[in-house]
Structure 1
């Protein structure tokens, strides 16, 4: 067999009469473009845009437990119509169950209203103006290491009394944190004002006013809580003294109890975000949360030392346990400030 020359069986067929090669036969759906005016390119059919659901979303009208807003009672009933059977509707509509259903619905409405107001004043993620995941990971790792070291210290050198005292100190910190933060934040802001330039101060004043308004709401709620509780106690004693004719005391107790319940929900939903955002002082300066954290941790150290004394263990262990926690928090806070300066140009002496 030969692979070259005129006898090559794999050569293409010769054109007839020495002319050009004929076009290949049309064996598929392809049709070559024909001469004529250009045809418009067919546009794709538009589809309706559906925005993605937020974190914890479960469909329209439902914000989820961690969403931006809880659904109203009407939306809950409307969504649950297809899931609640007829027997369950009879139980819910029976008059004998109203003494439990009505308070639950009222508490849910109060909680929803208080949560909306609390999250408008103190956004849950307002403290993360700059989302630096590496800083968050380091903060979480430091917190876990501190917790494990505290438990090991109690397990090795502690007594049952030390464990009870540690729990009391933890509860005391939870109670002292909001007022201590309200006292410390103005001092740190005043130092930043002292360091800042005139142009930066004018921008910071507007944000400070907004932070003061939100802090005023929280202080007013905390102040009104014992006042309403004391009024309810006095009205109850007055009703017991005049047991013959109750008068308007029961209605006054109900009128004072309703805002009391709302304030309890408001303080419960607002305390966590308020502490994380420093009562919205995080919007005043990007480095303010780190400065407040470094200040508060040393204040807590002094309070713990005055209230409970030194931690258990040998003297060297006591000193390390007392100073290791605040020193590590201060180091992480200062590292965060350096990252803000290197990555975002945030300086304390602006």
Structure 2
């Protein structure tokens, strides 16, 4: 009997050789094993597409229908007027019963097409006017303290004018004040068109050399908008003159009514923003609106003195009233320029 060697029947059971405990186990070759990862052939491997179809399509925002805020007419006070189709669709549900009664009466049917055509003309002219003269672009930097001081100065000037009229004025002086106010409304646009180029030229001369190309580009944009306004103002008397000469051609008058109404709407919507912004002078230089205000107030004072005489009252009070108003406006304008220089780095000279 042999007790050793390979033929020993009492040898211990077979044990596998020792392996590295830190080595990962071999892959499972079974039928439910996950697919092997794709080979990495570069420093960046793009993400693999999802193997199943996406049940949720990508979100695409849809345009919301026009819903007027504050009623049908309250929505027209915003920055944008809706097209006529959207306005009628929204007003069909919000229209008052009296308006429906007005529309259903046969005697008023001829008015509805004119109202619709007038709205289309007004909207077209308003869009063009606000594109050339944005309503809220009269200041490049909004300063609440300057705005409050300007309002306080305007209220104090109105109170002083009323006090002078009550203390020293005559009955005809009240009518003269109203005439001067209407005269200012008429004279302001052409006076601003004449004064703005002079102030811009002086400021362009003072500006540093590196800022002049940017100012030149802005001046061309402002000049284009001003030419639109001057063209509209010039075209209206020309069209009315053609009306007077076209008595024998009735169809010509009907054709010219279309541009005349559009120009009137355009001037109505463009005059206010154009005067407040100084024909987009804030885009040329941030200090231009304040400088133009200081120049215009003295021009208005001289025009009022020539047209209506000095303010009522004793000589000393009259001189103080004549000088105090423009001087206070110039003080506020200069303080605004000072705040632009200290808070926003605006420079007048190079």
Question: For this structure pair, what is the TM-score category when the shorter chain's length is used for normalisation?
Answer: 0.7 to 0.9
- Residue 63 of structure 1: how far off its partner (Å): 8.7
User: How many residues were matched structurally?
Assistant: 287
Contact 2:301 2:326 in 1 (8 A): yes
Unaligned runs of 5+ in 1: 1-47, 240-248
Equivalent in the alignment of 2:298: 298
Equivalent residue in structure 2 for 1:212, among 204, 216, 223: 223
What's the secondary structure of 2:77's corresponding residue? Answer: coil
After TM superposition, give the deviation of residue 230 of structure 1 in Å.
1.7
CA-to-partner distance for each residue in 1:65-108, whole Å, 9 max, x for gaps? 33221112111111122345899768636654232111111111
- RMSD of Structure 2 on Structure 1 (CA): 2.5
The alpha carbon displacement at 1:127 in A equals 1.1
1:1-350, aligned counterparts within 5 Å?
Answer: 58=69, 64-84=75-95, 92=103, 96-235=107-246, 238-239=247-248, 249-350=249-350
Call closer, same or farther: CA 1:87–1:273 in 2, change over 3 Å: closer
CA distance in 1, matches of 2:324, 2:104: 60
Distance in 2, matches of 1:116 and 1:210, equals 17
Which whole-Å deviations, capped at 9, do the CAs of 1:253-306 have from their partners, x for residues lacking one?
111111111111110110010011111111000000000000000111111111
Structure with higher Rg: it is 2
Runs of 5+ unmatched residues, structure 2: 1-58
What CA distance in whole angstroms lies between the structure 2 residues aligned with 1:158 and 1:49? Answer: 68
Under a length normalisation based on structure 1, what TM-score does the superposition of the two structures give?
A: 0.77
Measured against aligned partners, the alpha-carbon deviations of 1:11-64 in whole angstroms (never above 9, x if no partner) come to xxxxxxxxxxxxxxxxxxxxxxxxxxxxxxxxxxxxx999xx9xx9629x9992
Cα pair distance change 1:300/1:88, threshold 3 Å: closer
User: In structure 1, what is the Cα distance between the partners aligned to 2:233 and 2:105?
Assistant: 39
1:195-239: per-residue Cα shift (whole Å, max 9, x none)? 11221111100000000000000000000011111222322xx24
Structure-2 change in CA distance of 1:87 and 1:148 (3 Å): closer
| Aligned counterparts of 1:344 and 1:302: Cα–Cα separation in 2 | 34
Scaled by the length of structure 2, the TM-score of the pair is 0.77
